[in-house]
Structure 1
Amino acid sequence: MKVAIIGANGKVGSKLGRILAERGDEPIGFIRKAEQAEQLEAQGIRTITADLIETETEEFARLLKDCDAVVFTAGAGGAGEELTTAIDGHGLVKIAKAAESADVRRFLLVSAFPDAGRGKDMPASFEHYMKIKRQSEVDLVKTALDWTILRPGTLTDQEGTGKVNLGYTLMYDTISREDVARTLAVLLNHPKTAGQILEVVRGEETIESAVKIKAGR
Structure 2
Amino acid sequence: MHIAIVGGHGKVALRLHPLLAQAGHTPVALVRNNAYRDELHGLGAEVRILDIENANAAAFAAAFAGCDAVVFAAGGGPDGNIVRKRTVDLEGSLKSIDGARQAGVTRFVQVSAIGVDNPPPRDRGEVWRAYVEAKRDADAALRASGLDWTIIRPGRLTDDEATGLVALGPHVPRGDVTRADVAAVLAAVLENDDTAGHQWNLVGGDTTVPEAVAGALAA
Q: Normalising to structure 1: TM-score of the pair? A: 0.95
Using the aligned pairs only, state the percent identity.
Answer: 35
- C-alpha distance 117-159 of structure 1, shift in aligned 2 (>3 A): farther
Does structure 2 conserve the Cα–Cα contact (< 8 Å) formed by 1:148 and 1:196?
yes
Q: Which runs of 5+ in 2 are unaligned?
A: none
Partner amino acid for 1:19? Answer: L
- 1:182 corresponds in structure 2 to 184
Partner amino acid for 1:84? Answer: K
Does structure 2 conserve the Cα–Cα contact (< 8 Å) formed by 1:61 and 1:101?
yes
Per-residue deviation at 1:153?
Answer: 0.5
Per-residue deviation at 1:215?
Answer: 3.6
- 1:95 corresponds in structure 2 to 96
Q: Which runs of 5+ in 1 are unaligned?
A: none
Partner amino acid for 2:73? Answer: T
Q: 126, 140, 143: which is aligned to 2:142?
A: 140
RMSD: 1.8
- C-alpha distance 47-167 of structure 1, shift in aligned 2 (>3 A): same
Secondary structure of the residue aligned to 1:70 is: strand
- 1:34 corresponds in structure 2 to 34
Distance in 1 between residues matched to 2:179 and 2:63, nearest whole Å: 27
- C-alpha distance 88-119 of structure 1, shift in aligned 2 (>3 A): closer
Per-residue deviation at 1:81?
Answer: 1.2
Distance in 2 between residues matched to 1:51 and 1:65, nearest whole Å: 16
Does structure 2 conserve the Cα–Cα contact (< 8 Å) formed by 1:190 and 1:211?
no
Q: Normalising to structure 2: TM-score of the pair? A: 0.94
Distance in 2 between residues matched to 1:39 and 1:23, nearest whole Å: 19
Partner amino acid for 1:203? Answer: G
Does structure 1 conserve the Cα–Cα contact (< 8 Å) formed by 2:185 and 2:209?
yes
- 1:109 corresponds in structure 2 to 110
Q: 143, 154, 157: which is aligned to 2:156?
A: 154
Per-residue deviation at 1:213?
Answer: 2.8
Distance in 2 between residues matched to 1:102 and 1:117, nearest whole Å: 34
- Post-superposition Cα deviations, 1:126-180, rounded to whole Å, max 9, x if no partner, equal 0111011101111111101000000001000111111100011112110000000
Distance in 2 between residues matched to 1:170 and 1:120, nearest whole Å: 23
Per-residue deviation at 1:123?
Answer: 2.0
Paired positions, count: 217
